[in-house]
Amino acid sequence: MASKPRTLYEKIWDAHVVERRDDGTCILYIDRHLVHEVTSPQAFESLRLAGRKVRRPDLTLAVPDHNLPTTPRLDASGNKLPIADPQSAAQLAALEANAPAFGIDYIDSAAPEQGIVHVVGPEQGFSLPGATIVCGDSHTASHGGIGALAFGIGTSEVEHVLATQTLQLRQSRSMEVRVEGELGPGVTPKDLILHIIGKIGTAGGTGHVIEYRGPVFERMSVEGRLTVCNMSIEAGARAGLIAPDETVFAYLEGRPYAPQGEEWDRALAWWKTLHTDQGAAFDTSVVIDAAAVEPTVSWGTSPEDVVAVGDVVPAPESFSDPSKQSAARKSLDYMGLEPGQRIEDIAIENIFIGSCTNSRIEDLRAAAEVLKGRTKAPGVRWAIAVPGSGLVKRQAEEEGLDRIFTAAGFEWREPGCSACLAMNPDKVPPGERCASTSNRNFVGRQGPGARTHLVSPAMAAAAAVTGHLTDVRKLASCQAVDA
């Protein structure tokens, strides 16, 4: 029987439709629900008030990440240290109490498996190809890197999923981002996604689910794919996807929550069908030339404000859209930059290596490769490396990466969201700059008045050792930074 060719997105969507209404709204089944402490307390409270239960606690996993300090969590005798901020403490306590009260698996703040929810999901094998995955966090798009349909939801939807294990949704439009050719040496997945956002804009993917296609992704590690899909939301898309392949299957095999034995074989057989059929149509297509991607840096306060590191700060008049011109003026004023200033002349006082975008083992390896045998420049006041999970941290320590970071003058921290959004004590001071491997350079994102330059881990490390934004390719011994 000849069936209509479908995109990967359509295949996963179709497999999860519970009910389709005449107007196109669907009840979509949710396979995996990740819960953290910031966007869940009001949802649990509403369930309690309505006398509702969690329909499928077995498909739900809770882990604290946003509020946790990244300083040591236990005292010398192994007791948990108190959280100084009473509001953070209350939010963390709410999750710790709600999870067992509703029968949900909870990863404790002091457990070795604790980490950023989007690092933990794939690492634990809780996130799987072809699954629908949601979390009250827009960077849920990350999990598309293993071929899942994963997207962020608000707290009302968190409550809806807890109560019904479904969501009421309309299918998004499909967008293909086809990357042709190969990335140059020293150019990483982070540079690629920043470049893509620069090309299509922060609203370019609105109303769409993006599938990233092309030979670059076939050769990319799982970590790199998670980085690319993570920032789909910065391009306005609700989700980003990369077709799962042997690289993903090898990554998942043996993970704690992954299927095993006969179930693994059945899963694998289905996962191998999860690719866009020949002849399937996308609503929108964008082609990107990989060879044109340079190590990329943000200069403004929107993730679309990016240039190649060898470039200069653009003049507001260089944009054709008048509202973009005025936004660029405001951005430059906030960032304390002048049009025409060379990007490499921008001095940096703070370095943040971490976040759900870039805190996995490959990210830490890429940064350590640059830092090895070097130390941070005198002008760099604060440099922290925050592994994405306790397991990433442990592996990095086994590889000796922690010693490279500390020898270079970095602080080696406990896992969490940290200075990406500065809900915990890790903040960039007002008026100071940070070369950050995170995902958003919004006004005040890393602390009130903080100035963020989004970069790859290798580029953050390069800025650390030179004291200013630097093309990492100019530093010797960086051949191994392409992930």
Is residue 42 within the footprint of other proteins (CB under 8 A)? yes
Q: Which of 213, 225, 440, 451 binds other proteins (CB under 8 A)?
A: 440
* Least distance (Å) between residue 398 CB and other proteins: 14
Helices (H), ranges, 295-414: 322-335, 361-371, 390-398, 401-407
Contacts of 476 (CB under 8 A, 6+ apart): none
- Judged by CB under 8 A, how many residues of this single chain contact other proteins? 85
Is residue 250 within the footprint of other proteins (CB under 8 A)? no
* Least distance (Å) between residue 284 CB and other proteins: 15
* Least distance (Å) between residue 77 CB and other proteins: 27
User: How many Å apart are CA 53 and CA 429, to the nearest integer?
Assistant: 43
Helix (H, G, I), strand (E, B) or coil at 104: coil
Is residue 85 within the footprint of other proteins (CB under 8 A)? yes
Answer whether 428's CB lies under 8 Å from 446's CB: yes
Residue numbers 155-174 binding other proteins by CB under 8 A: 155-157, 159-160, 163-166, 168, 170, 172
Residue numbers 207-246 binding other proteins by CB under 8 A: 207, 233, 236, 238
In the complex with other proteins, the residue whose CB is nearer, 188 or 232, is: 232
Q: Which of 7, 70, 88, 389 binds other proteins (CB under 8 A)?
A: 88
Spatial CA neighbour of 313 closest among 349, 338, 348: 338
User: How many Å apart are CA 219 and CA 247, to the nearest integer?
Assistant: 9
Is residue 71 within the footprint of other proteins (CB under 8 A)? no
User: How many Å apart are CA 397 and CA 341, to the nearest integer?
Assistant: 39
* Least distance (Å) between residue 405 CB and other proteins: 25
Answer whether 335's CB lies under 8 Å from 301's CB: yes
In the complex with other proteins, the residue whose CB is nearer, 327 or 408, is: 327
Q: Which stretch binds other proteins (CB under 8 A): 59-67, 177-185, 286-294, 344-352?
A: 59-67
Is residue 58 within the footprint of other proteins (CB under 8 A)? yes
CA 63 to mean position of chain CA atoms: 16
CA 14 to mean position of chain CA atoms: 26
Question: Running DSSP on this structure, what letter comes out for residue 135?
Answer: E
Is residue 273 within the footprint of other proteins (CB under 8 A)? no
* Least distance (Å) between residue 201 CB and other proteins: 9
Helix (H, G, I), strand (E, B) or coil at 248: helix
Q: Which of 70, 109, 114, 124 binds other proteins (CB under 8 A)?
A: 124
Q: Which stretch binds other proteins (CB under 8 A): 86-94, 307-315, 346-354, 466-474?
A: 86-94
Residue numbers 415-434 binding other proteins by CB under 8 A: 421-423
Q: Which of 7, 70, 91, 470 binds other proteins (CB under 8 A)?
A: 91
Contacts of 89 (CB under 8 A, 6+ apart): 82, 83
Residue numbers 324-353 binding other proteins by CB under 8 A: 324, 327
With residue 62 as reference, give the H or E element that holds it.
strand 60-62
In the complex with other proteins, the residue whose CB is nearer, 174 or 466, is: 174
Answer whether 375's CB lies under 8 Å from 409's CB: yes
Question: What string of DSSP letters covers 422-477?
Answer: T-SS--PPTT-EEEE-SS---TTTTSTT-EEEE--HHHHHHHHHHSB---GGGSSS
Q: Which of 110, 111, 184, 255 binds other proteins (CB under 8 A)?
A: 255
Is residue 188 within the footprint of other proteins (CB under 8 A)? no
